[in-house]
Structure 1
Amino acid sequence: MSNVESVHTGRKPNVVFIIADDHREESLGASGNAIVRTPVLDGLAAEGTAFSNTHIFGGLTGAVCAPSRACVNSGKSIFNAMIGKDVMSWEHAITIRSDVKLMPQAMREAGYRTHAVGKWHNDKPSFARSFDGGDKLFFHGMSDHTEVPVQDFDPTGQYPPEREYMEHTFSTELFTNAAVDFIAQYEEKEPFYLYVAYTAPHDPRTAPEAYRSMYKEEDIPLPANFMEQHPFDTGDMTVRDEGLAGLPREAGEIRRHIADYYAMITHLDAEIGRVVEALKVKGIYDDTIIVYTADHGLSVGQHGLMGKQNVYEHSVRIPFILRGPSVPAGGRQAAPVSNIDIFPTLASLCQIPLPNEVEGVSMLPVLKGETDRVRHVVCSAYRDVQRMATDGRWKLIRTYYSPATKTGVDRIQLFDLQNDSWETADLFDDPQHHEVLLQLAGELKKWMHEYSDILIETPVLPTSEG
């Protein structure tokens, strides 16, 4: 493990922070997936540390992307970082409170030159107070990958819609080009913080043919938790994402979707390789911390679902890879991590002041080998219909009925992730696991109080023990 200062310059390390859209942790070669091809990300994981048990905090609308990105950039819960707490409120999903200091803002105040490329799915004032510069800025949730409405950096911070122009270079390549150009042209004495936010592998999953042809649908195995239809109402069974495939789910169609998904990921991986190469050509690769993560995962046929509007592992567990100065090589950590912990971890590595209001915790003690975990459990929320808690082995999912939308059901599930990583065997009714159930229910209730959950007065267990 090297010193926090760059090995060549003696200054704080540069940071390249990469965040993907819809990339679940399981869909990485480094995570044991033998089908998807991700040699660049696998290499970063081998040269650094991968936190394999990282979960999103969640969201209160179907657009989980925006609040999840707010959690990453604020280190705070969705209940305390966003404007309002109304379920299904677009303002709550998008708008970060003006008094919340964000990760790039803190880096900027600590002397970093902050530069953004790609997607910013939160409010424009939060972007403006965070970045010194930017290029190919995308202030939307999604678009066709060859019709991308972008803006140039606006020093006024206004970013009115009329400034947008259309780019037809494939989004992943478009954003990579901008990132590579920034690295190549950077000559300032201050270290830089480069935020690269891709829209891949989000649909429409239309990877270039050279990558799509790598995956033959007939060679794609169905996941062990494939179902033709989810057995109960999770609260959002008719959201847009769930209409991307027919019902009941058909094996051939799901294989095609998985092939499309993997092709997008492999293309993304190759483009990240160009960013890595640009750092090497510039001679600053060893002076730069690279972070790779995603806003959330995706079902793509698992549990009979297609989207991310649930709290199964495929939707709430994300990659979190660190590589660079002060990061041990070859580490794979199973410590429970929340995405609100990414900001404090990076702040620790760069030795910059952390805002007092940050609710996440640094994983630096785990990186240093001082402990095997700093959290006992992590939890996630989805709307007013789902909550989950996991200690890494055991996982409780609580589904509620929503009077507001008349969706969901009153149900609890318990899974042994160590022996059932696909979450196929519900152990809720097994008496021998009753104590584990009560323990996790207690942890979830504590979490709901700690972070001011909107369901704070709602029992976790539908019994006197809840």
Structure 2
Amino acid sequence: MRGARAGGPELPPPPPLLLLLLLLAAAAAAAGQPRPSVVLVASDSFDGRLTFYPGNQTVALPFINFMKRYGTVFLKAYTNSPICCPSRAAMWSGLFTHLTESWNNFKGLDPGYVTWMDLLQKHGYHTKKLGKIDYTSGHHSVSNRVEAWTRDVAFLLRQEGRPTVKLTGNKTHIRVMEKDWQNTDKAVNWIKEEAVNFTQPFVLYLGLNLPHPYPSPSTGENFGSSTFLTSPYWLKKVSYEAIKIPKWSSLSEMHPVDYYSSYTKNCTGEFTKEEVRNIRAFYYAMCAETDAMLGKIISALRDTGLLKRTIIIFTADHGELAMDHRQFYKMSMYEGSSHIPLLVMGPGIKQQQQVSDVVSLVDIYPTMLDIARIPAQQNLSGYSLMPLLFEELENEVVTRKPRPPWVLSEFHGCNVNSSTYMLRTDRWKYITYSDGNSVPPQLFDLSADPDELENIAMKFPVVAHSLDKILRSIVNYPKVSSSVQEYNKREFISWKQSLGQNYSNVIANLRWHQDWLKEPKKYEDAIDKWLHQRQHQ
């Protein structure tokens, strides 16, 4: 595990001339080496804790283990926003969510935004994107965006089907998520038929839907995704005896935002231990299928001889709670939702290394530029991972911005009735909401309480205040929260006006239709009251 260096007297900084010579020498050495190709495999909803002990005891993930054996695994990697589009916007832009204003699954980056892949292409890389991209505005369901816009309305409606499991096929059924397998096949064919012939390096991006839960059409025409679906083939990869049944607070003791999330995700009903165990088992089986797709990419690179000159990165947009804290899905700062996998292997990268530094998705952008030897942009929120990955860079003299001892994550979308901000340090996780006053904050000591069962913000007010001060130095979160509230109301009004007389029918039949249709006037009145309220200052 990467730790502090041995003590000793600090060396004085090198004189300017020596520094210049060292920089020139490093540049000359780099110029003599061909730039590596890069493959980034990004899954959806993969809990990063499954990539190291003890989480890795629950399911067989041979290709993730292969990457650990021949590369580096990050033990504290986090999403910058635990929902699909905003998290991917952070990864592709290198900027925090409040800087790109990627507030929800409908509001991402502008279509023409210059991503790291655009820059690599400009600097001579062949580029290819396959599968789920999802970082630009205008996508996802109407329900998803309306639920986000109306999160401040004084009503409580179930927005998802009750989480459930479904077994399909038999013991030989491998290709359960066929769409992902088809995109994986396309990536393999591209590697074998095109990339193998390139004289210049390439960057390949493969976006997977797994292990995101599947749609649940049984809940109605406008349905959410609450079904954990797999086959016996993948389920046998799961060690049932290693599955941990999470502890839950009583409904009356839940944090108010957690209660809102649990209710809107249809998780406040009764669940037996067997139901919870099965949901988790099926989810882990879906992770095993994801791992197999990663394996196809690794095998294709090996078979073509490209593996030795290609850097492979495996990550995810966010995690999956899988009934942690009486929730499924993401949209939470708890570990199951916010902790992502991040593994890197390739030429020059340290093998069998576990990095304990806190890192996040915004670090992908500067890392890609570093790999391609493109000068770093100064306005990025992230920091290159290269010094943590390469032996020869660990003690480099080249001046870089020092990596801060924290990562930031924020959430402004559906299933949560308040803008949420997380500051994660080596030991602490501080979560605050809205303006910092109207909703109580949370503080967890992850070294002593990895399951985040005890909010100790009241016990350690000095720590909470110190972390809040750091957070406010990064982002003026009360101002951001207010901006999001204004955006939500403005977008909802525009959407409502666009529907005209059809508004009542459309809004009644979104994902919350099972509750809404019981008392439609009550809920329309609640929205009208919200629309006429003065914006909180």
Range class of TM-score, shorter chain = 0.7 to 0.9
Residue 72 of structure 2 is matched in structure 1 by 49
Residue 392 of structure 1 is matched in structure 2 by 426
Counterpart-to-counterpart distance in 2, 1:268 and 1:457: 34
- Deviation string 1:117-142 (CA, Å, 9 cap, x unpaired) is 1112133899xxxxxxxxxxxxxxxx
Relative to structure 1, the CA distance from residue 454 to residue 429 in structure 2 (aligned partners, 3 Å threshold; closer, same or farther) is: closer
Which moved further from structure 2: 330-339 or 16-25? 330-339
- Deviation string 1:380-415 (CA, Å, 9 cap, x unpaired) is 11114321112120111113489xxxxx97112211
Aligned 8 A contact 1:21 1:202 in 2 = yes
Residue 201 of structure 1 is matched in structure 2 by 211
Aligned 8 A contact 2:85 2:106 in 1 = no
Residue 71 of structure 1 is matched in structure 2 by 90
- Aligned residue pairs: how many? 397
- Deviation string 1:66-105 (CA, Å, 9 cap, x unpaired) is 110111111012222246xxx55x542x3x1356320211
Counterpart-to-counterpart distance in 2, 1:69 and 1:392: 24
- Which of 168, 172, 181 in structure 2 is aligned with 1:173? 181
Which moved further from structure 2: 15-24 or 96-105? 96-105
- Counterparts of 1:367-406 in structure 2, within 5 Å, are 367=389, 368-370=393-395, 374-383=403-412, 384-400=418-434
Relative to structure 1, the CA distance from residue 207 to residue 369 in structure 2 (aligned partners, 3 Å threshold; closer, same or farther) is: same
Counterpart-to-counterpart distance in 1, 2:279 and 2:29: 42
SS in 1 for 2:441: strand
Q: Which amino acid aligns with 2:445?
A: D
Counterpart-to-counterpart distance in 1, 2:128 and 2:233: 31
- Deviation string 1:257-313 (CA, Å, 9 cap, x unpaired) is 111111011111122111111111101111000001000011111111112111112
- Deviation string 1:225-283 (CA, Å, 9 cap, x unpaired) is 4456571332683589823x562343211111111111011111122111111111101
- Which of 334, 347, 355 in structure 2 is aligned with 1:325? 347
Aligned 8 A contact 1:80 1:451 in 2 = no
Counterpart-to-counterpart distance in 1, 2:138 and 2:244: 44
Aligned 8 A contact 1:390 1:396 in 2 = yes
Q: Which amino acid aligns with 2:74?
A: F
Aligned 8 A contact 1:28 1:36 in 2 = no
Aligned 8 A contact 2:37 2:311 in 1 = yes
Indicate the percent of aligned positions where both proteins have the same amino acid.
Answer: 23
TM-score for the superposition, normalised by structure 2: 0.67
Q: Which amino acid aligns with 1:67?
A: P
Q: CA deviation at 1:223?
A: 3.9
Q: CA deviation at 1:330?
A: 1.4
Q: Which amino acid aligns with 2:403?
A: V
Q: Which amino acid aligns with 2:238?
A: Y
Q: Which amino acid aligns with 1:435?
A: V
Query: Is 1:436 aligned to residue 446 of structure 2?
Result: no
Greater strand content: 1
Name which one, 1 or 2, has greater alpha-carbon Rg. Answer: 2
TM-score for the superposition, normalised by structure 1: 0.76
Residue 16 of structure 2 is matched in structure 1 by none
Query: Is 1:26 aligned to residue 64 of structure 2?
Result: no
Residue 501 of structure 2 is matched in structure 1 by none
Aligned 8 A contact 1:114 1:193 in 2 = yes
Q: Structure 1: 5+ residue runs without aligned partners?
A: 127-144, 146-166, 403-407, 459-466
Residue 521 of structure 2 is matched in structure 1 by none
- Deviation string 1:162-214 (CA, Å, 9 cap, x unpaired) is xxxxx997133222211110111021212111101000001123223311233
- Counterparts of 1:93-104 in structure 2, within 5 Å, are 94=108, 96-97=109-110, 100-104=113-117
Residue 140 of structure 1 is matched in structure 2 by none
Which moved further from structure 2: 230-239 or 327-336? 230-239
Q: CA deviation at 1:370?
A: 4.0
- Deviation string 1:423-458 (CA, Å, 9 cap, x unpaired) is 11221222xx33322211111111214998445999
Aligned 8 A contact 2:237 2:288 in 1 = no
SS in 1 for 2:205: strand
Counterpart-to-counterpart distance in 1, 2:370 and 2:239: 44
SS in 1 for 2:58: coil
Q: Structure 2: 5+ residue runs without aligned partners?
A: 1-25, 140-165, 167-174, 215-227, 397-401, 413-417, 486-537
